[in-house]
Amino acid sequence: MRRLVFIGMVTLALFVGLVWLGNFDQGPFLITREDQQKIVLLFGKPLLVRTEPGLALRLPFVTDVLTYDKRRLYLSTQPITAQTRDQELLVIDNYVIWRIEDPVQYRSSFPLGRSVAEAQINQVVNNDLRGVIGQRTLSEVVTTSRVDVMQAITHKSDENLRGSGIRIEDVRINRTELPAPTEENVYARMRTERERLARKERAQGEQEGRTIRAQADREAQVIVAEAKRDAEIERGQGDADATRIFAEAYSADPEFYSFVRGLEAYRKALSPKTTLVLSPSSEFFRLLDSARETKGP
Amino acid sequence: MARGPERVPSDERVRRSVRRTLANTFVLLASLAVIVAWAYFGFYELQPGQAAVVLRLGRYSETVSEPGLRWHWPPPIETHEIVNVASIEREEFGMPAPGEAEPKGKALLEAQMQTGDNNIVNLSFVVRYMVKDAFQSRYRVAEPRQTLRDAAQAAVREVVGHTPIDAVLSLKGEQIKAESGQILQRTLDAYESGLLVNGIEIQDAKAPSSVIAAFNEVLAAAQDRSRLVNEAQGYANEVLPKAHAQEAEQREQARGYRESKVAEATGAAERFRALDSEYRKAPDVTRRRLYLETMETVLPQVETVVVDPSTAHVLPYLPIGAAKPAPQASPEAKK
């Protein structure tokens, strides 16, 4: 019983210890973590490739273990100057997302390690970048087909590095910059464009202002003219009303009207300036005459 | 021979069995203690906002996110890695150094972008992000932060690259924010980075310093424009009420004229009717009276000459108008 427990304990401890050693690539167990891939080498020859995580067995003492990153790796390259199809120079800063797809191929391509691989990636990507950019115009690269350009570079670089166990997942232009002389040209163009806009703005202001004024003047003129028209019509109607009222009243006795109106006209028309020559036989002096006639013979 | 040792060994046997039991117990307890001690290493504490990624023999087992005291199989069977998942991280781009107004050096390079109409604009922005998948952020990408930084710049530049400068400057990037946020999230998902973009904020968008004067001139021109329009509207607001005032005057005057005309006519007509009705009662007398009354008032004001028609030929010699002053007398008349 005791022996059984003892043996069990020792076995457990041994197992745990050996597994623990496996974390340091020692012992008979090979532990590959989620972010790792491992190659087991027997006298320099790959014996076992582990790209999936988990536990595996290996021959201790005689085999070696090499560990490679399985994650997506980030590589920022130095900005490079490339020439576009329309002979413009463009400073391009990009980054690369890559991963080790085939650790055995990768190992034989870059025995000296990752820095060599990164230098190689850098060179291939820059070459492809220059190639792709050279087929496009400046505005295509910067604006219209930026995504296409990035995809084309990614595709090309991936193909070029496929044989070395590397997968290029994404090449992305994060910054484009114009060289200083071109930049000055852009600034000059921006300035003239702004000046044009400013002039246009002011001219439009004047146009709008003057239009508003002219419209106001026109409206005012029309308002006043229409008011005058209506006023004349109203006055005319007033005159008509008065004429009608007069006519209604006077046509009852036209003869008497002309008599009364005549008298009134005399009253108004005759002034001190007037010299009136009257005949004694006129209506006014009729009484005089008739008196003389009655007193006389 | 069997008896002798049989009695003595009976004590011995008891002692031996006791010793064996003790040793058994000890071994059991010791084993238990070792196992408990080993198991103790499987305990770990999880704070709120943290997640533990548990690997079993290197293979992903589970992500634990409930805080508290947790246990997994002790190492080396299972291991865990704690990742912060609740805190929102910030990455700034093209922001001027503290205490400076303009970005310089690296920040200026980050800020300077080419717009869709081949202009240059300085844009500073902030990306807020958090970990949405602890496992991916730890085991699928090597440099999540640096990857995010570069991917964010690429995304914003991609959007600004097809947006005209006026839209970049005037909208303060509402559309840029939304679109670049989507692109960045798509990119990060493609990398299996396990990061979630909470938002991109445009801090500042302005023209580069060497052309800012020209841009300000456009703003000034726009203000001039609105000033001119305002002045014109002011003029219109003055002219139109005046015209309406004149309109009202005209209409009121005309109405007054009409009404007064009607009133006068009515008055005169009524007067005539009244007179006429009286006249009809005694036409001759009234007629004569009216005539004489008129003459009475008229003749005293008038220079009256009575001439008999039979002596009408003297008329030409009468000094008509001689009594009156002759304002337009001829010079010969003065002599």
Of the candidates B29, B42, B51, the residue with the CA atom closest to the CA atom of residue B74: B42
Q: In this predicted complex, what is the ipTM?
A: 0.72
| End-of-domain residue from the set A154, A178, A202 | A178
Of the candidates A39, A160, A157, the residue with the CA atom closest to the CA atom of residue A103: A39
CB contact under 8 Å between B302 and A16, yes or no, is no
Q: Is B212 on the interface with A (CB under 8 A)?
A: no
Q: Are A22 and B45 in contact (CB under 8 A)?
A: no
| The two structure tokens encoding residue B176 | 């840029």
Is residue A281 in a domain?
A: no
Residues from chain A contacting residue B120 (CB–CB below 8 Å): 178, 183, 186-187, 190
CB contact under 8 Å between A277 and B208, yes or no, is no
Q: Is A15 on the interface with B (CB under 8 A)?
A: no
Is residue A286 in a domain?
A: no
| Shared domain check, A114 and A51 | no
Q: How far is CA B28 from CA A13, B49, B286, B326, in A?
A: 15, 41, 162, 164
Ranges of beta strands (E only) in B57-194 are: 59-64, 68-71, 78-84, 89-93, 112-114, 120-131
Q: Are B45 and B69 in contact (CB under 8 A)?
A: yes
Distance CA B99, CA B159 (A): 30
| Shared domain check, A77 and A168 | yes
Interface test with B, best of A223, A226, A229, A246 (most B CBs within 10 A): A223
Is residue A118 in a domain?
A: yes
The three-state secondary structure class of B271 is helix
| Shared domain check, A138 and A91 | yes
User: What percent of chain A is predicted at pLDDT more than 90?
Assistant: 44
| The two structure tokens encoding residue B174 | 């509402």
Distance CA B296, CA B311 (A): 26
| Shared domain check, A86 and A155 | yes
pLDDT of amino acid B1: 44
pLDDT of amino acid A230: 92
pLDDT band at A39 (very low <50, low <70, confident <90, very high): very high
Q: Are A161 and A171 in contact (CB under 8 A)?
A: no
Alpha-carbon distance A225 to nearest alpha carbon in chain B (angstroms): 8
User: What percent of chain B is predicted at pLDDT more than 90?
Assistant: 36
Alpha-carbon distance A165 to nearest alpha carbon in chain B (angstroms): 18
Alpha-carbon distance A158 to nearest alpha carbon in chain B (angstroms): 16
Is residue A135 in a domain?
A: yes
Q: Report which listed range, B21-25, B127-131, B269-273, B282-286, is most confident.
A: B127-131
Q: Is B332 a residue whose pLDDT tops 50?
A: no
| Shared domain check, A10 and A107 | no
Q: Which of A103-117, B100-114, B237-251 has the lowest mean pLDDT?
A: B100-114
Alpha-carbon distance B72 to nearest alpha carbon in chain A (angstroms): 15
Is residue A160 in a domain?
A: yes
Closest CA in chain A for residue B57? A54
Q: Are A205 and B224 in contact (CB under 8 A)?
A: yes
Residues from chain A contacting residue B254 (CB–CB below 8 Å): 230-235, 238
A209: nearest CB among B157, B231, B308: B231
Is residue A247 in a domain?
A: no
CB contact under 8 Å between A270 and B301, yes or no, is yes
CB contact under 8 Å between B303 and A215, yes or no, is no
B243: nearest CB among A147, A212, A224: A224
Closest CA in chain A for residue B252? A231
pLDDT of amino acid B318: 55
A266: nearest CB among B220, B268, B294: B294
pLDDT band at B25 (very low <50, low <70, confident <90, very high): confident
Q: What is the CATH number of the domain that holds A94?
A: 3.30.479.30
Q: Is B28 on the interface with A (CB under 8 A)?
A: yes
Distance CA B268, CA A250 (A): 10
| Shared domain check, A150 and A86 | yes
Alpha-carbon distance B108 to nearest alpha carbon in chain A (angstroms): 11
| End-of-domain residue from the set A155, A178, A201 | A178
Q: How many CB atoms lie within 10 A of CB B195?
A: 26
Is residue A12 in a domain?
A: yes
Q: Is A122 a residue whose pLDDT tops 90?
A: yes
pLDDT of amino acid B4: 47
DSSP string, B9-65: HHHHHHHHHHHHHHHHHHHHHHHHHHHHHHHHTTEEEE-TTEEEEEEETTEEEEEE-
List the 135-154 stretch of A: residues with Cβ below 8 A of B: 138-139, 142-144, 146-147, 150
Residues from chain A contacting residue B57 (CB–CB below 8 Å): 19, 31, 54-55
Residues from chain B contacting residue A220 (CB–CB below 8 Å): 239-240, 242-243
Average pLDDT value for chain B: 84
- What is the helix (H) or strand (E) element at residue B334, kind and residue range? helix B331-334
Q: Is A229 on the interface with B (CB under 8 A)?
A: no
pLDDT of amino acid B320: 52
pLDDT band at B90 (very low <50, low <70, confident <90, very high): very high
Of the candidates A92, A87, A80, the residue with the CA atom closest to the CA atom of residue A176: A92
List the 65-124 stretch of B: residues with Cβ below 8 A of A: 75-77, 109-110, 112, 114-116, 118-120
User: What percent of chain B is predicted at pLDDT more than 70?
Assistant: 88
Is residue A94 in a domain?
A: yes
What's the domain count of chain A? 3
Q: Which of A192-201, A227-236, A238-247, A284-293 has the lowest mean pLDDT?
A: A284-293
Interface test with A, best of B109, B153, B166, B225 (most A CBs within 10 A): B225
Q: Which of A105-114, A130-139, A180-189, B8-17 has the lowest mean pLDDT?
A: B8-17
B253: nearest CB among A5, A55, A231: A231
Q: Is A169 a residue whose pLDDT tops 90?
A: yes
CB contact under 8 Å between A272 and B226, yes or no, is no
pLDDT in tens, A173-197: 888 888 888 888 889 999 999 999 9
Of the candidates B28, B174, B308, B181, the residue with the CA atom closest to the CA atom of residue A292: B308
pLDDT of amino acid B315: 53
| Shared domain check, A162 and A78 | yes
Domain that includes residue A53, residue range: 2-68
Q: How far is CA B119 from CA A141, A145, B4, B55, B126, in A?
A: 14, 17, 115, 51, 22
Phi, psi of A126 (to 5 degrees): -65, -40
CB contact under 8 Å between B298 and A1, yes or no, is no
Q: How many CB atoms lie within 10 A of CB A223?
A: 19
Q: Is A64 on the interface with B (CB under 8 A)?
A: no
Closest CA in chain A for residue B187? A170
Q: Is A292 a residue whose pLDDT tops 70?
A: no
Of the candidates A15, A159, A177, the residue with the CA atom closest to the CA atom of residue A82: A177
pLDDT band at A198 (very low <50, low <70, confident <90, very high): very high
| Shared domain check, A155 and A81 | yes
Tell whether the torsion through CA atoms of A131, A134, A135 and A139 is positive or negative: positive
Q: Is B313 on the interface with A (CB under 8 A)?
A: no
| The two structure tokens encoding residue A164 | 């070395």
DSSP type of residue A56: E
Interface test with B, best of A204, A263, A292 (most B CBs within 10 A): A263
Contacts 24+ apart (CB under 8 A), A154-163: A156/A128, A156/A131, A156/A132, A157/A96, A157/A121, A157/A124, A157/A125, A157/A128, A160/A124, A160/A128, A161/A98, A161/A120, A161/A121, A161/A124, A163/A105, A163/A109
Q: Which residues contact B183 (CB under 8 A, 6 or more apart)?
A: B155, B158, B159
Q: Are B176 and B160 in contact (CB under 8 A)?
A: yes
pTM of the model: 0.70
| End-of-domain residue from the set A135, A153, A178 | A178
B142: nearest CB among A73, A226, A241: A73
Q: Dihedral of the CA atoms A79, A80, A85, A86 (nearest 10)? A: 70
